[in-house]
Amino acid sequence: METLDATSSASNLQSPSSKTPQPPPSVIRLWRPAAQRNLRNQWSKLASYRQQWTSTASKGRSHATDLVNSYLSQRYMPAMELGVLSDMPNIRKKACMKLLKQQVLLHYVFAFVCMILNFLVSMLL
Q: What is the pLDDT of residues 17-56, one digit of tens each?
A: 567 888 777 777 777 788 888 888 888 888 888 898 888 8
Domain count, the chain: 1
In a domain, 15, yes or no: no
pTM, entire model: 0.49
- CA dist., res. 46 & res. 58, Å (int): 18
Range of the domain at 100: 26-124
In a domain, 3, yes or no: no
Read off the pLDDT of residues 49-89 as tens digits, 9 standing for 90 and up.
889 888 888 888 888 888 888 888 888 888 888 888 888 88
- CA dist., res. 106 & res. 60, Å (int): 10
In a domain, 10, yes or no: no
